Structures are given as C-alpha cells and as structure tokens.
Amino acid sequence: MPAAKHWYPGSRNAQLEMAANWRSVLATKANEWHVPTEAVTQLNTVADSAASILADAKNESTRTPVVNAKCKEAFDRLEEVMRDIKRRYFFVPPLTEADLVSLGLSPRDPISTPSGTPNAQVTAETFLIGRHELGIKIVYLTGDPADAANKGYRIWYTVVAQGAAHPTAPEQLTSSFSTQRRKDVIKFDFEDSGKIAFFAIQVENGGKKGPWGPLLNAVIP
C-alpha cells in the first residue's frame, strides 16, 4: 500500500474517504472554483471504480492476483486524477485557506523546508502480484521513515537466467526506477518468467542517496 504523502493518505480506505469528501465539496463548489464538469465526472468514476475493486480484493471468494493488480491500477488512477485536480484547480488561482482545509489540504507554505541527506538503510520483502511481476515491501533496517530526508527510494535490479553468472554487489545492478511508495512492483518482460531478479534499494532525496541496502534475489513468477 502506498506510503503517505504530504497531502495524500497512505491507506486505501483513507484515500476513498478523501475522494468522497472532495466529491461532496465539489458538488456545491465546482462552479465557483471553475472546476469543469468533466473533471468532477472523472473523479466520481475513478473513485467508484476503486471502491468496487477494493471490495473484490478484500473478499476471499473474489480475491485473485489479477484482482489485486487491477486494484493497484485503480488506486494509482485515483491518485493521478486527484493530483491533477488539485494542481489544476485548487491552487491556480489559489483557494482560500478555509477552502483548502475543507478539502483536507494544507495551505501552501511559501518557504521551502530544506531536507537533509538520506541516512536510512532499507531492505525488502517480496510478495506475489501476478505473472512477470514482483511485489516489493520496503523494510527499514536503520533510520526513521518519517524523516523528510528519507522520502524516496531507488530500486535497482538485474534479471539473470538460472545458473548464469549473477551480480555480487548492488553497484553491479543495471536497471532502476524511483518511487515514494513503501510497497511497489517491479514489472518484467514475458520471457523473464522463471529467471532470477537480483535487486537492492537506496533511499534517495533528489540527487542525494543513502547507503545501499543488501543485495537480494527472487525467482520471477
């Protein structure tokens, strides 16, 4: 599940609650705030879709790896739509502080808060998502996950065939992507099924990087 951002809740239930609040507020404020009808309709559609697929993902009789993957996609889409509405209509032109509070948002602070160099070291636990996908849950070995300096993660990985030479240090990994989620997914090509993924994670903040985590490996489903 996504880690909490400075404005967006970390749990899916809380994300749906925020979406429901936005829908309630926009029902009376959309015209005043110049939020177009199509944006409100899109929010309603993706929020309803996320709520429906979450119910299926929680139900033992309907939960499958495919449903879980669809659930992640639905909540990624919900965040994308809410982020776009916030950026386009809530701050340009700016709403009043009371308006922002009604949406569960904080007024913008014009003074940026500097954050330090990441100092945490993390490892990961893996979990099944679906074919050719490896779920990653980040686990802190040292450092404070609440520290603003430890706000992002660089996941490095390399795919190796069974029995082939493999990396022996994180510095030898060749592919990477950045995320701010404590749970995320590494997606592989179809032909990578059955091969071994070697991976390691660095905490990062802008161009600053923390220490390497241990080199890990898992068989790609």
Residue 114 covered by a domain: no
Reported residue count of the chain is: 221
Q: Which tops the pLDDT comparison, 221 or 88?
A: 221
Q: Which of 173, 210, 219 is nearest to 192 (CA)?
A: 219
Residue 59 covered by a domain: yes
Residue 107 covered by a domain: no
- pLDDT value of residue 56: 92
Of 59, 74, 102, which marks where a domain is finished? Answer: 102
Distance CA(202)–CA(213), nearest Å, equals 6
Percent of the chain with pLDDT over 90: 58
- pLDDT value of residue 109: 55
132: left (phi over 0), alpha (psi -120 to 50) or beta: left
Residue 52 lies in domain: 12-102
Given a contact cutoff of 8 angstroms between Cβ atoms, the answer to whether 68 and 130 are in contact is yes
pLDDT digits (tens, 9 = 90+) for 193-209: 999 999 999 999 877 88
pLDDT digits (tens, 9 = 90+) for 145-175: 888 888 889 999 999 999 999 999 999 999 9
Cβ neighbours for 145, distance < 8 A, ≥ 6 positions apart: 3, 120, 182
Q: Are residues 139 and 79 in the same domain?
A: no
DSSP characters over 22-70: HHHHHHHHTTTTT--HHHHHHHHHHHHHHHHHHHHHH-TTT--HHHHHH
- The amino acid that residue 221 corresponds to is P
Percent of the chain with pLDDT over 70: 93
Q: Are residues 205 and 155 in the same domain?
A: yes
Q: Are residues 96 and 140 in the same domain?
A: no
Residue 116 covered by a domain: no
- pLDDT value of residue 114: 52
Top-confidence range, 4-13, 17-26, 130-139, 149-158: 17-26
Q: What is the CATH number of the domain that holds 152?
A: 2.60.40.10
Q: Is the pLDDT of residue 107 over 80?
A: no
Q: Are residues 126 and 201 in the same domain?
A: yes
Q: Which of 44, 71, 43, 76 is nearest to 56 (CA)?
A: 71
Using pLDDT thresholds of 50, 70 and 90, give the confidence band for residue 106. Answer: confident
- pLDDT value of residue 60: 87
Q: Give the SS3 label for residue 3.
A: coil
Residue 1 covered by a domain: no
Using pLDDT thresholds of 50, 70 and 90, give the confidence band for residue 92. Answer: low
Q: Is the pLDDT of residue 177 over 90?
A: no
Cβ neighbours for 27, distance < 8 A, ≥ 6 positions apart: none
Q: Are residues 139 and 181 in the same domain?
A: yes
Distance CA(34)–CA(178), nearest Å, equals 34
Distance CA(176)–CA(193), nearest Å, equals 19
How much is the CA Rg of the chain, to the nearest whole Å? Answer: 20
Q: Are residues 126 and 175 in the same domain?
A: yes
Q: Is the pLDDT of residue 31 over 60?
A: yes
Using pLDDT thresholds of 50, 70 and 90, give the confidence band for residue 2. Answer: very low
Distance CA(144)–CA(139), nearest Å, equals 11
